[in-house]
Amino acid sequence: MSNKAVLGALSAVLLVAAVIGTVATVASSNHKAASDDSLAASSKSVTAICASTDYTDVCERTLSSAINGSASPKEIIQASFMAAIKEIEAASHLSKNVSLSATDSMNKDGFDICRRLFEDANEELQAAFSETHDLDGLARRTDDIKCWLSAVISYQQTCLDSITQPDLHSTMKDGLVTASQVTSNAIAIVDGLSSLFKNFQVPINVTNIASRRLLSQGSDAKGYPTWFSAHDRKLLAASARGELKPNMVVAQDGSGDYKTINAALNAMPKKYTGRYVIYVKAGIYKENVLVTKDKVNVFMYGDGPRKTVVTGSKNNVDGVQTMNTATFVLCNWHFPAAEGQGFIGKSMGFSNTAGPEKHQAVALRVKGDMSAFFNCRMDAFQDTLYVQAHRQFYRNCVVSGTVDFIFGDSSTILQNCLIVVRRPMDNQQNTVTAHGREEEKEETALVIQNCRIVPDKRLFPDRLKIPSYLGRPWKARSRTIIMESTIGDLIKPEGWLPWDGDQFLNTLYYAEYGNRGPGAGTSGRVNWPGFHVINRQTAQAYTVNSLIQGHRWIKYSGIPYLGGFKN
């Protein structure tokens, strides 16, 4: 057994002891001998808990400096979160100072993006930290906490991507190194605890769970979660019958409550119990919509993805940061993030009409946790669907584009969708995905399951001449899985495209399982160390129930889904 494995086992033993109470916190003492014993015990605890992290030296340094004298394992875990919070605060201060040297509007906007993302990162870290006050809280919400921490790393990378001035980018990159490392370490520590509870089947105290509306409580006799309100039950029943009664109606012709989607969102009450339903009547809505993070529990639906369309044309060539080009932006994340509060979008279209010559031009950007879309369309060219962060699910949707047109650093599954590859500019090649995972410990992946990947009618005549690929690695740990899908003959035999030479080819994770169609053969696929043809057991980790815990929230959205495999 390797030293790292031995230390990892020691960490597990230490934490088990902490959970079941067989080891008490080392008491502080005024006697020098007792004090020395206390320090030694703390040092051993730090070493054991840091063993499973990727940045062990950073972990031991930051935790040791944060702990004075005796410390329980719980306090050490809390210290790992505080280290991440302090580093994000430091990065925020750094960005404010460095932004003063920005000489153009794009980089000034980039630093504004950094400011907003660091605010979000701090909020999510604080939310995660609040769950560490008791081990029950950690055990109940480990999936949520790992998701939030992964989003924090994603935000850091998005900040860096927004700064293009070389000297300023270098300064910010150096300033974010430790922030990324301590956040990664925190994920590793929480993941170790999560595995611990599962392996040792440690019982969890659920006495106070009811007030927090956690889905892990189970369900009632009719199969609804116990926190599910009577209003939500009636809503789902009405949705199934096609009898939804919206809280607001948006209609361009004045027949509704508001003429624009933004006006309806702005009028939404600050406090509302149950799903808030917005019906958007058929029409072309030329507006850039923002669903802010406090707009939780929204269900927005239209008359069909080709009838109710939100459209815009912001783009990178015209001087707009990629993140800000999106026609429809979904940021609703709120703590306490009661499961079931995620956005639901149904029967709507989202479009960016900037065209291929304008390069990055996003139709839909999503970073709201537990977001689900059903029977929707996302149409653009480069960077159509920006799955920025958190857990997302798309079912029976159409996504069209050319270059990297499904991209981001989230845990996203597209299921039973039609993925349409469009004709790019003459000097371009198509890449369906570009996942942006940077750290090994991030709980993120992009999964395409039981979908069809096909050329549109303009590409079809030249589909064998214009190169098209399943994806390329945007970041070092890019992770994309294509499974149980029909892949058309437009996809090149090698399947995947490098980003920049041999960069990331050893660290990425690309996998295929159970695909069909003329483009699904794997004999001619790339021979990169990071590419794999996987079996059913390995693919299980990337199903809806495993990757995004869909059984805990999609089930109650009214959207059909496969929790496991199609076949």
* Other residues' Cβ atoms within 10 Å of the Cβ of residue 461: 11
* 446 neighbors 406 (Cβ within 8 angstroms): yes
Count of residues making up the chain:
567
- Is the CB of residue 282 less than 8 Å from the CB of residue 308? yes
Distance in angstroms (rounded) separating the CA atoms of residues 310 and 472: 29
Q: Beta strands 509-513 and 468-471: pairing type?
A: unpaired
- Under 8 Å between Cβ of 168 and 384: no
Helix, strand, coil content of the chain in percent (nearest 5): 40, 20, 40
Contact 553, 215 (CB under 8 A): yes
Gap between the Cα atoms of 13 and 1, Å rounded: 16
Encode burial over 338-355: b for 16+ CB neighbours within 10 A, e otherwise. Answer: bbbbbbbbbbbbbbbbbe
Spatial strand order of the sheet with 364-366 comes to 289-291, 328-330, 364-366, 385-387, 403-408, 430-435, 468-471
**Angstrom distances, CA of residue 530 to CA of 317, 477, 481, 509:** 33, 9, 12, 5
Q: How many whole angstroms separate alpha carbon 305 and alpha carbon 310?
A: 10
Instruction: Evaluate whether 293 touches 267 at the Cβ level (below 8 Å).
Output: no
404 as an active site residue: the answer is yes
Candidates 271, 277, 267; CA nearest to 231 is: 277
Catalytic pick among 120, 369, 404, 409: 404
Catalytic (active-site) positions: 404
